[in-house]
Chains A and B, each alone.
Chain A
Amino acid sequence: MLTLSAHDRAMLDGGLGPGVALAMRIVTRIANVMSARELIAVTSAHIDGCLYHGATSLDFVERFVQAGTKVVIPTTLNVGSLDLIHPELYRGPASAGKAAHRLMDAHVELGCESSFTCAPYQLKHRPKLGEQIAWAESNAIVFANSVLGARTNRYGDFLDLAAAITGRAPYAGLHVVENRAARIVFEAPDFSVLPGRDIFFAALGLLVGKEAGASVAAIVGLPLDTTEDELKALGAAAASSGAVALFHAVGITPEAPTLDAALQGRAPMRTVAVSLEDLRDVRRKLNHAGPGEPLVAVSLGTPHFSVAEFEQLLQLFAQYSGPLRCDFYVNTSRYILWLLEQAGAAEKLADRGVQIVVDTCTYITPVMKKMTGLVMTNSGKWAHYAPANIGVTVAYGSMSECVRSAFEGKVWFDEQIS
């Protein structure tokens, strides 16, 4: 039975306006579905509702706009269907584009920050260890829980905004520390010194998601110098192939100084030994191209590219002098683009023919010039979703393989990892 505070009750009864009452009805109804006994205060929200799915998307947000409702906690926005900084990139029908644009604007009118990124953890302010938050977007959820140690459930459309408007979320699931214990242990092989190790993280993520489903996983054996970007790739992939919302990388992530800490002293349900061959097998299954096949494009930055990844990309580009022989897209946020512009890196990349896409992503909306043919990526998430979403065929390789392939105009794989 759900117990509400006096303030919760006031919100529900309409004392703070009809918009707040609607949001609170949604929070309490969902709390009841989750069998939560109380609501807790959340300190930030990340909203996945600005991607246009049809009239319901707009009807929901406009209801709050008309009521003059505002969000009451810092709230960031996930990608929309359009790149508002480069609107000319959009190649879809005009009517859908107009509705999608309104959906993004309407969220800003509610007081949300116009971040339009799937990687809100790369913005200036990010949640701290133990902070209770209400985030949507599967990769952001898994990053916030796993890498930052903040606490959120797998929130999605509607509840995310309702939490931002009320500042409340059901106290259940991963908000509760006991539920954050790992149940399945994965023993990773040592791939620390292999070239192009970025795709091993993504491949491991896909495997973890498939095996763990919605269970909390602990991973032992990851390289001790594992970077945030590598954890980002692992988490995004795990949240694509499964419903993973939290993994512990033992010795690396904040709730897992030891395996015993990750398990909270309990025995795991099971342990899965992963071999290098298993990871190569994941890669082979994701990849649908042979060496030498012509590419129409390379797409990087799913989830959105970080500054460190752009630095890596610039270093790789410095090894080649000629022109790119296929289109080259990198998805990132307008904030990271601004940082790149300050540093002069954006201009350098544009001069080399790189199209930076912001506010959206190449696999969810028609922005690439060519939507048929072979596109190469290093993202496990992009490789998982793009074929069904936009109809392209995927070549899957590391960032360095992607760059070399783009300069050759055809797929190139490093012998050592194929």
Chain B
Amino acid sequence: MNRSANAGDDPSDATAISQLPAQLSRVLTGEALTSGYARGPKALLSEPLSFWGGYDSVQGTIVDKTHPCFGQRLGGTIMVMPRAKGSSSSSSVLAEAIRNGTGPLGIILRERDLIIATGVIVASELYAINIPLVVVADADFKSISDADAIIEISCPNQLGAARVTLIASSSTLCEEDAT
């Protein structure tokens, strides 16, 4: 399992967010593809993941042995990934993971993706679990990838602006740099 050098730090960092001075937060704007609110540690996937064949929706871990984040759990995280790939059955696996509570709380992509969006939309329609899905510009994607931060996503409406807040922390999971 890939862990960042910081992953062993005191996890209580995450509980102190509200006491952080405002200048340690940074607010970015993206495009909301689905509505919702989420806050959690970042799971940075440098390489695209195909959920079908790549993620175990019961165990909640990345099972694609060729993926740099093999073994990583996505449950409870904000998944940050440049783009998606692979079979359209990935929509089913992602929706199943969201249903099981083993999927990410929120998703940030650099390139819009129909298969990811479909999984998120169906989970929202069937189970009323609303996972915010955001597309951000290249420069903002880099800032999000580089930041050691807890991420907060707020998408009040589907197809509006999404607010992405980076709250300084040292909780990034999976160390690879996104490209």
- Cα-based distance from A155 to B115 in the complex (angstroms): 8
A30 pairs with B118, CB closer than 8 A: yes
A34-B114, A48-B88 are known contacts. Are A55 and B125 too (CB-CB below 8 A)?
Answer: no
A312 within 8 A of B: no
Chain B residues with Cβ below 8 Å from A153 are 114
B91 pairs with A156, CB closer than 8 A: yes
B122 pairs with A60, CB closer than 8 A: yes
B11 within 8 A of A: no
A57 within 8 A of B: yes
Chain A residues with Cβ below 8 Å from B100 are 54
A63 pairs with B122, CB closer than 8 A: no
A32 pairs with B158, CB closer than 8 A: yes
- Taking a contact as CB atoms closer than 8 A, the residue among B52, B90, B122, B159 that contacts A26 in the complex is B122
A218 within 8 A of B: no
A-facing residues in B112-164 (Cβ within 8 Å): 112, 114-115, 117-118, 121-123, 125-126, 158-159
- Cα-based distance from A88 to B58 in the complex (angstroms): 27
B117 pairs with A33, CB closer than 8 A: yes
B80 within 8 A of A: no
Interface size class of A (residues with CB under 8 A): 20 to 34
- Taking a contact as CB atoms closer than 8 A, the residue among A32, A155, A157 that contacts B92 in the complex is A157
With both chains docked as a complex, state the minimum distance between the C-beta of B136 and any C-beta of chain A, in angstroms.
15
Chain B residues with Cβ below 8 Å from A158 are 91-92, 95, 118, 121-122
B interface footprint on A44-67 (CB within 8 Å = 1, 0 otherwise): 000011010111110110010000
Chain A residues with Cβ below 8 Å from B114 are 30, 33-34, 153-154, 156, 159
A51-B89, A56-B99 are known contacts. Are A157 and B126 too (CB-CB below 8 A)?
Answer: no
With both chains docked as a complex, state the minimum distance between the C-beta of B124 and any C-beta of chain A, in angstroms.
9
Chain B residues with Cβ below 8 Å from A26 are 118, 121-122, 125
A48 pairs with B89, CB closer than 8 A: yes
| B64 (CB) vs chain A CBs: closest residue | A388
- Taking a contact as CB atoms closer than 8 A, the residue among B87, B99, B121 that contacts A138 in the complex is B87
B96 pairs with A55, CB closer than 8 A: yes
- Cα-based distance from A30 to B88 in the complex (angstroms): 14
| B85 (CB) vs chain A CBs: closest residue | A243
- Cα-based distance from A30 to B117 in the complex (angstroms): 7
| A170 (CB) vs chain B CBs: closest residue | B114
Chain A residues with Cβ below 8 Å from B58 are 54
With both chains docked as a complex, state the minimum distance between the C-beta of B105 and any C-beta of chain A, in angstroms.
18
B115 pairs with A156, CB closer than 8 A: yes
With both chains docked as a complex, state the minimum distance between the C-beta of A235 and any C-beta of chain B, in angstroms.
15
A7 within 8 A of B: no
- Taking a contact as CB atoms closer than 8 A, the residue among B53, B90, B95, B121 that contacts A56 in the complex is B95
B33 within 8 A of A: yes
B159 pairs with A32, CB closer than 8 A: yes
- Cα-based distance from A77 to B59 in the complex (angstroms): 30
- Cα-based distance from A49 to B95 in the complex (angstroms): 13
B107 within 8 A of A: no
- Taking a contact as CB atoms closer than 8 A, the residue among B85, B89, B125, B158 that contacts A22 in the complex is B125
Chain B residues with Cβ below 8 Å from A315 are none
- Cα-based distance from A26 to B100 in the complex (angstroms): 21
- Cα-based distance from A243 to B91 in the complex (angstroms): 15
B57 pairs with A59, CB closer than 8 A: no
- Cα-based distance from A53 to B90 in the complex (angstroms): 10
B99 pairs with A136, CB closer than 8 A: no
With both chains docked as a complex, state the minimum distance between the C-beta of A286 and any C-beta of chain B, in angstroms.
16
Chain A residues with Cβ below 8 Å from B52 are 53
A91 within 8 A of B: no
B121 pairs with A54, CB closer than 8 A: no
- Taking a contact as CB atoms closer than 8 A, the residue among B53, B93, B99 that contacts A389 in the complex is B53
A159 pairs with B158, CB closer than 8 A: no
With both chains docked as a complex, state the minimum distance between the C-beta of A376 and any C-beta of chain B, in angstroms.
22
- Cα-based distance from A388 to B58 in the complex (angstroms): 18
- Cα-based distance from A30 to B57 in the complex (angstroms): 23
B-facing residues in A337-389 (Cβ within 8 Å): 385, 388-389
A54-B57, A54-B96, A60-B126 are known contacts. Are A29 and B121 too (CB-CB below 8 A)?
Answer: yes
- Cα-based distance from A56 to B159 in the complex (angstroms): 25
B89 pairs with A157, CB closer than 8 A: yes
| 9 A-B pairs with least C-beta separation | A156-B88, A54-B96, A53-B92, A56-B96, A33-B117, A157-B92, A157-B91, A56-B95, A158-B122
Some 19 contacts from A to B, beta carbons below 8 A apart, are A29-B121, A30-B114, A30-B118, A48-B89, A51-B89, A53-B52, A53-B57, A54-B100, A55-B96, A56-B92, A56-B96, A136-B88, A138-B88, A154-B114, A156-B87, A156-B114, A159-B114, A159-B118, A388-B53
Q: Apart from A33-B33, A156-B87, A159-B114, list 9 A-B contacts with CB within 8 A.
A: A29-B158, A30-B117, A34-B114, A57-B96, A59-B99, A136-B88, A156-B118, A157-B89, A158-B121
List chain A positions with a Cβ less than 8 A from chain B.
22, 25-26, 29-30, 32-34, 48-49, 51, 53-57, 59-60, 63, 136-138, 153-159, 243, 385, 388-389
List chain B positions with a Cβ less than 8 A from chain A.
33-34, 52-53, 57-58, 85, 87-93, 95-96, 99-100, 112, 114-115, 117-118, 121-123, 125-126, 158-159
